[in-house]
Chain A
Amino acid sequence: MNGGTVIDVHGLTKAFDGKTVVDGLDMTIRRGEIYGFLGPNGSGKTTSIRMLCGLLTPDAGSGVCLGFDVIRESDKIKPHVGYMTQKFSLYEDLTVRENLLFTARIFGLADPNRLVDGCIERMGLGPFEHRLAGNLSGGWKQRLSLGACTLHSPDLLLLDEPTAGVDPGARRDFWDHVHALAAEGITALISTHYMDEAERCHRLAYLAYGRLLASGTVEEIVEGAGLTTWSVASRNPGAGLHGLTERLRPLPGVDQVVAFGNTLHVSGRDAAPLERAIAPFRTDGLAWTIIDTSLEEVFIDLMRQSRDGLK
């Protein structure tokens, strides 16, 4: 890989029926990196991933993936990429084993049977080996897909919401597995809607309305957003905070009010106006403390900003 960069694309753009879905995406991913891809529904994550592996032709933009041109050399990229689709895309009328064998053979792998045995073992698919894939539960389908896209030991994994609908234990196994692969030098681009998963990535990109709004490590992104967040809790357990949310929201300087159990998180882009806004509420009954802004607040803020920008 040249200079340790696996993906380096600029200005990738894609429109469907005149509607721009991905707009000038720039992305650089280094070798061995786990790169998180976040953004609200319909923000263009799947479309971007499809462009990277040659399933969609970009309308504009250029770049390299694994040292090959993303537009002209997608045939050379495919053998080295493991793409896990968002929607289950293996054959429901083939068994788990048949699906894996088919994939191994299509990639022209030597000794497919041994490889498939190893994969079934690794993914814990043993009990379902001879079940039709269509009869697996959602989470097991995801595991099968993951197994299938790693069979040929790809250099780059493109995983589109690989853990959607997967239970917490299996999700943790999955992330341990991805980190182990990254340690071996495999690069992974993973789209997700889970914040805890975002925090397990080395670097992140946040997409909204087809535009890249932020990228970098978790710290860089949180820092870049420049949000100040206060946490409020009621001192006497009986009294709720219900009325408070409605009263805080319209105030100038307050950008977000989110309930977390018995506390509210109140965030604003500028520290001073926020402090002025909450001043009247800093009474004896309420405990106010400044806390670290979380990724979720940053993302929601980014999304609002871009939506406001579009208006």
Chain B
Amino acid sequence: MRMFDCKRFAAMVGKEFVQMRRDRLTFAMLIGIPLIQLILFGYAINSDPRHLPAGVLSADNSRFARSIVAGMQTSTFFDITRHPSTRAEADRLLRDGDVLFVLTIPENFGRDLLRGDRPVLLLTADATDPLASGRAAMAFPEIVRLALARELTGPDADLNQTEPPVDVRIHNLYNPEGETQYNIVPGLMGVILTLTLVMITSLAITRESERGTMEHLLSTPIRPLEVMLGKIVPYILAGYIQMTLIAAAARFLFNVPMQGSVILTFALSLVFIGANLSVGVTISTVARNQLQAVQISIFFFMPSLLLSGFMFPFKGMPDWAQAIGSILPLTHYLLLIRGILLKGNGFMDSLPHLWPILVFWAAVVAAGLKQFRRTLD
């Protein structure tokens, strides 16, 4: 008796494919969950927030300062609602959430600008919700450039030629990593894969036990590894369908820029998909019924969602949370996929994020094999 027989394994995979095809509800869930989540999250991404409340702390009343403030207003990104008179007041407005931005125009801004001293123009942004603040903050330098270009005509026009005549600085408060909204979609890919794949495969073996088919299966020479891998393979395809769906939506619906190789993303995601599917199968070797399987899946999903850096900046979490988070495959996958898609990382750059997932995968399969009940006891 060999531990693994390709023919038996192929039979198992074939059977699972046929069953997956016939199981309309599961299939609908595979496609439906990503779509619903994308629309919910994607709405936030796509809403392209405008008219965000902003305050101006100005110590200068030159035409340049006025032009910049007017430019902000007409850009529709900002609504200048407050004019705090002191730093402390401005900080309080930000802290209380009365404004999302404070523009600080220093004393003698206009004079320094004309002298070519490149005065500092500081935009302080409340970046707790990068979805809200990111886009406006990104547009700000361009608004400043256009506003100044309008004013710098005639003898001052040459100030436009060289480097920007002011030093625009954007300071993200509360979110030191400066995450942008683009982080969301790749992250969402990981979250959706975790949720659906773990949940669906966690039902895999439990369903066999509940329907009584396990008794037939166990009375045949099939081995645990063949059953477990046989249950995983068809859902790898399902995982890729989901990824394609999300990637296409990210690209075409939400215009998320993609720096790196999509092929590399898909190739390396195999490890993540496999790891999640194995978690599901392992859960189903422990769970006594399908309800338990779903409950344990959620038990795995919650920390993945909360401690992986998807919801909160990873570096900002307490040590114990980071310790738990660094075990979870989603944590590493987020770094991996954001690295590839947003920073254009290659294979070698991705390796440090890849091996922790592989280790996790191997450990989970081992646990599943150990747990797999060869009998009905």
Contacts and interface: CB of A to CB of B under 8 A. Distances in A.
Interface of A: 50, 53-57, 75-76, 78-79, 81, 83, 85, 87-94, 98, 102-103, 105-108, 148
Interface in B194-216: 211-216
Nearest to A92: B211
Given A93-B22, A102-B11, A81 B219 contact: yes
B11 A106 contact: yes
Nearest to B222: A106
A78 B220 contact: yes
A98 B375 contact: no
B163 interface: no
A188 B14 CA distance: 31
B7 A53 contact: no
Interface of B is mostly: helix
Interface in B342-377: 375-377
Interface residues of B, number: 28
B115 to A, nearest CB: 80
B47 interface: no
Contacts of A79: 221
A125 B319 CA distance: 64
Contacts of A105: 7-8, 10-11, 14
Given A56-B375, A107-B221, A87 B212 contact: yes
Contact of B221 (A55, A75, A88, A93): A75
Nearest first, the 4 A-B pairs at minimum CB distance are: A105-B11, A89-B216, A83-B219, A106-B220
B220 A107 contact: yes
B216 A54 contact: no
B208 to A, nearest CB: 9
Contacts of B12: 106
A93 B19 contact: yes
A150 B312 CA distance: 59
Given A87-B212, A89-B216, A93-B22, 14 more contacts: A54-B219, A55-B218, A56-B375, A56-B377, A89-B214, A90-B213, A92-B211, A93-B23, A102-B14, A105-B11, A106-B8, A106-B11, A108-B8, A148-B216
Contact of B220 (A87, A88, A103): A103
A54 B1 contact: no
B216 to A, nearest CB: 4
Contacts of B217: 106
Contacts of B15: 91, 94, 98, 102
Contacts of B216: 83, 85, 89-90, 103, 148
Nearest to B211: A92
Contacts of A106: 8, 11-12, 217, 220-222
7 contacts: A55-B375, A57-B377, A93-B18, A106-B220, A107-B220, A107-B221, A108-B5
A50 B376 contact: yes
A78 B212 contact: no
Nearest to A47: B376
A101 to B, nearest CB: 8
Contacts of B213: 89-91
B8 A85 contact: no
A78 B212 CA distance: 18
A237 to B, nearest CB: 51
Contacts of B218: 55
A223 B129 CA distance: 88
Contacts of B221: 75, 78-79, 106-108
A267 B18 CA distance: 58
Contacts of A81: 219
B219 A78 contact: yes
Contacts of B219: 53-55, 78, 81, 83, 85
A22 to B, nearest CB: 13
Contacts of B11: 102, 105-106
Nearest to A91: B213
A30 to B, nearest CB: 23
B228 to A, nearest CB: 15
A138 to B, nearest CB: 15
Interface in B206-242: 211-222
B376 A108 contact: no
B135 to A, nearest CB: 48
B369 to A, nearest CB: 15
A87 B211 CA distance: 10
A85 B215 contact: yes
Contacts of B375: 54-57
Nearest to B218: A55
A303 to B, nearest CB: 27
Contacts of B376: 50, 55-56
Given A56-B377, A102-B11, A105-B7, A89 B220 contact: no
A108 B7 contact: yes
Interface string B1-31: 1000101101110110011001100000000
Contact of B212 (A75, A89, A93, A103): A89
Nearest to A145: B216
A94 B220 contact: no
A188 to B, nearest CB: 15
A93 B212 CA distance: 13
Chain A CB within 10 A, most for which of B10, B11, B12, B216: B216
A108 B4 CA distance: 12
A105 B376 CA distance: 23
Contacts of A87: 212, 215
